[in-house]
Amino acid sequence: MTNQTMMRSALSNLQSNMTQMAKLQQQASSQKLIGRPSDDPTGTANALAIRAEQRANEQYGRNISDGNAWLTTVDSALSNATVLLNKIRDLTVKGANDGALSPAAKEAIAVELESLQSELLSEANTTYLGRSVFAGNSDADAAFTSAFEYTGAAGSSVERRISSGTTVRADADGAAVFGVGSESVFALVQTIVSDLRSGTNIGSSLAAIDGHRQALLGQHATVGARHAEIQRAMEVNMEKSVSLEAQRSEVEDVDLARIILDLQVQQVSYQTALAVTARVLQPTLMDFLR
């Protein structure tokens, strides 16, 4: 082996050592295992797949949050409507006792029923971010007009995708909850008020009130089930978010303590190689000429 061959071999080894040390320095400063796709093609492909799944999971998270807000609004409106309908029933029972009530007392009950009817209509027209929660995909400002006409889009619904294969309805069917037209709970209260003022016994309206109460409670139970489902989806989404971040970190991020240790070892190795090379390749052409 000639002196020139030894020199080339030593320089090649030193250059390889410097390249590895530069790579470790770059990883330590960026705290990333992959600086460019060519560093690790397989790792790059895995990182891209994980990041795509993270973006999808983040979108599902936003959908879940929005759906949860919708259902919370619907649940609150249905709870308030149930309370109002119970009050309407109590007043109807009281107003049906013709023998114990004077015309002035009946008028007082009628006025109170009108107030409750107005509050019930207000709950039926509850909105979230400017959209009615009981009108489906309709863009109407209110689900019910002052004449108790339903403005919602029949058969439509507001849905939110909460996972790759699952959607949840976020609104409620106003027609099923409150009824429509002359069959609505608002028209029923108006009829009760008219009968009170005309002297007609209103006891027969109790069955109709109970029917509306059952319909409202049934819809409320359905909304509660969907709300529970979206709450579970929120927990799953958060857990998946943590899991995906751990996977991404494992593929992309460096173990800083290990990188620093490897860098120190590489630096020692480089210094040692320099020292050994300097000792081995000390002879020069002048040494041979002498």
What does the H/E/C string look like for 88-114?
A: HHHHHHHHCCHHHCCHHHHHHHHHHHH
Does 1.20.1330.10 match the CATH number of domain 50-248?
yes
Q: Is the dihedral of CA 34, 40, 44, 47 positive or negative?
A: negative
Q: Which ranges of the chain does DSSP label H, i.e. alpha helix?
A: 3-30, 41-95, 103-124, 174-178, 185-198, 206-252, 256-280, 285-289
Give me the residue spans of the domains in the chain. 50-248, 256-290
Q: What is the pLDDT, as a whole number, of residue 224?
A: 95
Task: Evaluate the CA torsion angle 13, 16, 22, 26 in order and state its sign.
Answer: negative
Q: Token pair for residue 76?
A: 């609150």
CB distance 262 to 24 below 8 Å: yes
Other CB atoms within a 10 A radius of the CB of residue 37 amount to: 12
Per-residue pLDDT of the chain (290 residues; tens, 9 = 90+): 556 676 677 667 767 777 776 676 676 666 676 767 776 788 889 888 999 999 999 999 999 999 999 999 999 999 999 999 999 999 999 999 887 888 899 999 999 999 999 999 999 999 999 999 999 998 888 999 988 999 988 888 999 999 999 999 999 999 999 999 889 999 999 999 999 999 899 999 999 999 999 999 999 999 999 999 999 999 999 999 999 998 888 887 666 667 666 667 777 776 776 776 666 666 555 555 55
User: Please, which contacts does 18-22 make with residues 24 or more away whose CB atoms are closer than 8 Å?
Assistant: 18/270, 20/266, 21/263, 21/266, 21/267, 21/270
Cα–Cα distance between 21 and 33 in angstroms, integer?
14
CB within 8 A of 101, min separation 6: which ones? 94, 95, 109
Residue type, 193: V
The three-state secondary structure class of 151 is coil
Joined together, the tokens standing for residue 189 give 């209260």
Q: Structure tokens of 30?
A: 């960026």
- Whether pTM > 0.85 for this model: the answer is no
> Which residue has 């009760």 as its token pair?
192
Rounded distance between C-alpha atoms, residue 60 and residue 43, angstroms: 26
pLDDT value at position 280?
A: 63
